[in-house]
Amino acid sequence: MIRLSSRKLHVLSDAIGRPFVARVTTNERLPLSMRGSEVLLLDSWTPSNELDGFRGLLLRNAPEEATRLPPNTVVLPPELAYVSDGDVLRISPQDRALAVLYRRRAAFNALLVTERCNHLCLMCSQPPKAADDSHLVDVLLSAIPLFAQDSPEICLTGGEPTLLGPRFLALVRAMRNYLPRTALHVLSNGRSFSDLQRARELAAIAHPDLMIGIPLYGATSELHEYVVQSAGAFDETIRGILNLKRAGVRVELRVVIQRANFEHLPQLAEYVARNLTFLDHVALMGLEPTGFAKANLDSVWIDPVEYKAELKRAVLTIAQAGMRVSVYNHQLCTLDPGLWRYARQSISDWKNEYLAECEGCAMKHRCGGFFSTGVPVRSKYIRALTHAPPR
Partner 1 sequence: MAVRFDPRGTFAPTPGSYRLLPLRFERIDESRVVATNLVGEFVVLPRAMLSDLVEGRLHPDAPEYRELKTRHFLTDDRSSVALDLLALKARTKAEPIAEFTGLHMFVVTLRCDHSCAYCQVSRQTADKSRYDMTFEHAAKAVDLVFNSPSSTIKIEFQGGEPLLNFDVIRHVVELAEERNRTEQRKLQFVIATNLSQLNDEILAFAAAHNLVFSTSLDGPEDLHNGNRPRPGRNSHELALAGIERIRSTLGIDKVSALMTTTPRALGRVREIVDEYLRLGFRSVFLRPISPYGFAVRSKIADGYSIDDWLSFYIEGLDYILSLNEQGIAIREEYTSIVLEKIVTQRGTRYVDLQSPSGLGISAIVYNYDGKVYASDEARMLAEMKDESFLLGHVDTHTWADIFTSDKLLSVLASTVAESVPMCTDCAFLPYCGSDPAYHQAMQRDPVGHKAKSSFCKRNMGVFKHILRILNDRPERADILKGWVAA
Question: 156, 187 in Cβ contact below 8 A?
Answer: yes
Using rule CB under 8 A, residue 89 touches partner 1: no
Contact between 316 and partner 1 per CB under 8 A? yes
Residue (218 or 304) nearer to partner 1, CB: 218
Residue 9's nearest CA partner among 39, 30, 37, 36 is 39
Among 127, 200, 362, 379, binds partner 1 (CB under 8 A): 127
Does residue 295 interact with partner 1 by CB under 8 A?
Answer: yes
Beta bridge partners of 200: none
225 binds partner 1 (CB under 8 A): yes
Binding range to partner 1, per CB under 8 A, among 60-68, 205-213, 291-299, 360-368: 291-299
Shortest distance in whole angstroms from residue 320 CB to partner 1: 5
N- to C-terminal Cα separation, the chain: 33
> Cα–Cα distance between 177 and 145 in angstroms, integer?
9
Task: Considering the complex, state which of residue 36 and residue 232 has its C-beta at the smaller distance from partner 1.
Answer: 232
Indicate the residue among 77 and 127 with the shorter CB distance to partner 1.
127
- Residue (of 117, 184, 190) closest to 144 by Cα position: 184
Report the residue from 261, 267, 329, 352 that binds partner 1 according to the rule CB under 8 A: 267
**Helix 196-204 and helix 233-247, axial crossing angle in degrees, nearest 10:** 40
If one asks whether residue 222 binds partner 1 (CB under 8 A), the answer comes out as yes
Q: How far is the CB of 373 from partner 1 (least distance, A)?
A: 15
The sign one gets for the Cα dihedral 118, 277, 260, 158 is negative
Among 102, 168, 193, 234, binds partner 1 (CB under 8 A): 234
How many residues line the site for partner 1 (CB under 8 A)? 32
258 interacts with partner 1 by CB under 8 A: no
Does the footprint of partner 1 cover residue 170 (CB under 8 A)?
no
- The answer to whether 342 and 319 are in contact (CB under 8 A) is yes
Give the shortest CB-317-to-partner 1 separation in angstroms: 8
Contact 40, 60 (CB under 8 A): no
Contact with partner 1 (CB under 8 A) among 292, 307, 342, 350:
292
Judge contact between 137 and 171, C-beta under 8 A.
yes
Among 231, 341, 349, 381, binds partner 1 (CB under 8 A): 231
Cβ neighbourhood burial of 4 (10 Å; 0-12, 13-18, 19+): middle
Whole-number Å distance between alpha carbons of 212 and 188: 7
Please report how many Cα atoms fall inside a 13 Å half-sphere around the Cα of residue 286, on the Cβ side: 29
Q: Is 122 in the site for partner 1 (CB under 8 A)?
A: yes
Q: Does 229 bind partner 1 (CB under 8 A)?
A: yes
Q: Least distance (Å) from partner 1 to the CB of residue 3?
A: 21
Between residues 123 and 347, which has the closer beta carbon with respect to partner 1?
A: 123
Q: Which stretch binds partner 1 (CB under 8 A): 40-48, 177-185, 224-232, 378-386?
A: 224-232
For partner 1, the closer CB: 222 or 353: 222
Nearer to partner 1, 147 or 307 (CB): 307
**374: cis peptide before it, omega within 30°?**
no
What minimum distance in Å lies between the beta carbon of 96 and partner 1?
26
**Could you tell me the smallest distance in angstroms from the CB atom of residue 359 to partner 1?**
35
| Touching partner 1, residues 343-372 (CB under 8 A) | none
Report the alpha-carbon distance of residue 230 to residue 287 in Å, rounded: 20
Does 84 bind partner 1 (CB under 8 A)? Our answer is no
Nearer to partner 1, 148 or 196 (CB): 196
- Which positions lie near partner 1, rule CB under 8 A? 120, 122, 127, 219-222, 225-226, 229, 231, 234-235, 238-239, 242, 260, 264, 267, 270-271, 274-275, 277, 292, 295-296, 316, 320-323
